[in-house]
Structure 1
Amino acid sequence: MSTRSRVVLLSAVAVTAALSLTACGKGGVSGGGGNTNFVTGNNGISTVPVSKRTAAPDLSGPTIDGKTADVADFKGKVVVVNFWGSWCGPCREEAEYFAKVSKAYQGKGVQFVGVNTRDSSTTSAVNFEKAHGITYPNLYDPTGKLMLRFKKGTLNPQLIPSTLVIDRHGRVAARALEALDDTSLLKMLKPVLAEK
């Protein structure tokens, strides 16, 4: 391989790496096509009208603490699903807000569930959970297979972090493709919780 070919190849690898690293930060717009029936507000939160919502896929499996969890078990409650990784800086920034809001809404018809992804072992995920005071269940999804269960053209999680709000009927109502603080999280949660 010539020196020029190596430089071109290394440049392509560097660009690809840089693009993939930016996924752990502000949201993107990729995925799906056609009429998705959702609207993205100026705060980065996409919502779907009640009549256009689709059911969330199966989000079940082992948790980072060796138990099992299934989001479908929480039907009848509003479920906040946060996709995160211990290696993700924005995930660390938002974790305290998720812990705070989950505690404030405990017993008020809201259930939080985390999905830990791309951590090679549960050790760092468990340490993350302890460090940030997270007490709700966290599914362990090291290969990202749970994220891939969402159909294109729906409010699917596309980045880490991503957050979804699932309504009482098990349908995806809102999505954010960026780190959230407590104010942004409540902007997603409160309208869905107010639905009858």
Structure 2
Amino acid sequence: MPRPRPARLAALMALLVGGALALAGCTSSSGNDGGNLGFVQGDGSVKTWTPSERSEPVTLTGTAFDGTKVDTSKWRGDVVVVNTWYAGCAPCRKEAPDLASLASSATDGVHYLGINSTDDAGAAQAFQRTFKIPYPSISDKSGSVVATLQGVVPVQAVPTTVVLDAQGRVAARVLGATTKATLAGLVDDVRSGDGTNTAAATS
């Protein structure tokens, strides 16, 4: 015997509500993230800050996987691109060739830096060799380097890419994998000092 219509309607409503809750679980509000932007999990979304909106300068220090000491305060006056990653991260592997290409062709005044909070030196350096990454990555298993950055701009997805302006202030952020066109546009915008993003639509 067919189920009475009211029961079928109730079942349908339960499915709809459950689906809506499942979709809501893909995003969450992060509260105050320095730019009052709701957190969208790793979708390549771009946020930029104009010079007047930017926070205090950020200084990131640590030891790269090759033993080199890194201190971004030594790069004041230049734009710094910071990328979080780990070797087993599929989006990280997807964006790695673009990051390597941009870093390899970067002109004076632009530096690239990776932060890896997961891998040991063997796995990290294998990744760097595979993708011919020309810039250093800080080993950050303690999470202290990401915490320094997190105090200014949330880094809730891996990968996340942050662009620091010449004063060391956060000028742009990409949550999730970025693209060559998007990141090149952000760097150009920050270097030009207008603080706007013309490449976000290409992500």
TM-score, normalization: structure 2? 0.73
Q: How many residues align?
A: 167
CA distance in 2, matches of 1:69, 1:33: 29
The CA RMSD measured in Å over matched residues stands at 2.6
CA distance in 2, matches of 1:31, 1:67: 34
Relative to structure 1, the CA distance from residue 39 to residue 188 in structure 2 (aligned partners, 3 Å threshold; closer, same or farther) is farther
Deviation at 1:60, TM superposition (A): 0.6
Secondary structure of 1:135's counterpart equals: coil
* Structure 2 residue 107 is matched with structure 1 residue 106: yes
Q: Which residue of 2 aligns with 1:178?
A: 176
**Conserved? CA contact 2:84–2:114, under 8 Å:** yes
CA distance in 2, matches of 1:51, 1:110: 21
Q: How does 1:32-47 map to 2 (within 5 A)?
A: 32-33=31-32, 36=35, 44-47=45-48
Secondary structure of 1:170's counterpart equals: coil
CA distance in 2, matches of 1:160, 1:36: 19
CA distance in 2, matches of 1:34, 1:92: 27
Moved more, 94-103 or 31-40: 31-40
Structure 1, gaps ≥5 residues long: 1-25
**Conserved? CA contact 2:44–2:175, under 8 Å:** no
Map Cα deviations across residues 145-184 of structure 1 (whole Å, 9 max, x no partner).
Answer: 21122355x4232211000000001100000011012012
CA distance in 1, matches of 2:54, 2:166: 12
Deviation at 1:34, TM superposition (A): 7.8
* Structure 2 residue 165 is matched with structure 1 residue 167: yes
CA distance in 2, matches of 1:106, 1:115: 22
CA distance in 1, matches of 2:53, 2:38: 11
Secondary structure of 1:189's counterpart equals: helix
CA distance in 2, matches of 1:32, 1:138: 29
Secondary structure of 1:146's counterpart equals: helix
Relative to structure 1, the CA distance from residue 35 to residue 129 in structure 2 (aligned partners, 3 Å threshold; closer, same or farther) is closer
CA distance in 2, matches of 1:134, 1:65: 13
**Conserved? CA contact 1:59–1:70, under 8 Å:** yes
Which structure: larger Rg? 2
TM-score, normalization: structure 1? 0.76
Deviation at 1:58, TM superposition (A): 3.0
The percent identity for this pair of structures is 31
Deviation at 1:43, TM superposition (A): 6.5
**Conserved? CA contact 2:49–2:172, under 8 Å:** yes
Q: Which residue of 1 aligns with 2:71?
A: 70
Secondary structure of 1:143's counterpart equals: coil
Relative to structure 1, the CA distance from residue 35 to residue 164 in structure 2 (aligned partners, 3 Å threshold; closer, same or farther) is closer
Map Cα deviations across residues 36-93 of structure 1 (whole Å, 9 max, x no partner).
Answer: 36699x9711011101101343311110111111111111000000011111110011
Q: Which residue of 2 aligns with 1:157?
A: 155
Q: Which residue of 1 aligns with 2:143?
A: 144
Q: Which residue of 2 aligns with 1:131?
A: 130
